[in-house]
Amino acid sequence: MKKPSVSPAMRLRESAGVKLALARTHGAIFIKASRLLVKTLKTGHKVLVFGNGGSAADSQHIAAEITGRFSRERRGYPAIALTTDTSVLTSVSNDYGFDLVYARQVQALARRGDLVIAISTSGNSPNILEGIRAARIAGASVLGFTGAGGGAMASLCDIIFAVPSKSTPRIQEAHITIGHILCEAIDESVCS
């Protein structure tokens, strides 16, 4: 078996370094995002989450942690991953184009007081940007997860986690960590 060109230890250090940089640069953002998420749920509103590819899987993961539970027993809260309904995804993509696959769902489901979590490692995915624009029209708050610089979505979100990396795997690893930290905030706010 051929030895890998990059050692696993090097990748783990790289991942840890990105997360430590995020901790140094985004402390206030974590607090602001946690408060917004908790307020959204405690006032009876819902969370809509979406992304493409690995970010679609992260959307489902985050929605499941909110609806089910994270680490403590508590009631379930309304969170929907807009990546899961294949009939909606295929019909909207077929009838309107893939760029509107999330915008149409947000238009149908989002209301003032809801929170939309939009995930794009580049911050420039057209369907993510259209979904964010639809959320703004609906009066929902928007929390963005992206990579270094934030891309086009940085100026469209109320709060943005711009992970300080240009490596898609490292950004995605940080995104799920951010999601877990926010879910922990939910647990702490209702279980303490």
- The answer to whether residues 50 and 82 touch, using CB atoms and an 8 Å cutoff, is yes
Model's pTM, two decimal places? Answer: 0.95
Q: Quick check: 192 pLDDT over 60?
A: no
What domains can be seen in the chain, in order of their start residue?
18-187 (3.40.50.10490)
pLDDT band of 158, cuts 50, 70, 90: very high
Kindly report, residue by residue over 57-66, the tens digit of the pLDDT.
999 999 999 9
The average confidence (pLDDT) of the chain is: 95
The beta strands (E) that lie in 27-140 are given as 47-51, 79-81, 115-119
Tell me, what's the pLDDT at 191? Answer: 65
Measured between alpha carbons, how far is 130 from 128 in angstroms, rounded to an integer? 5
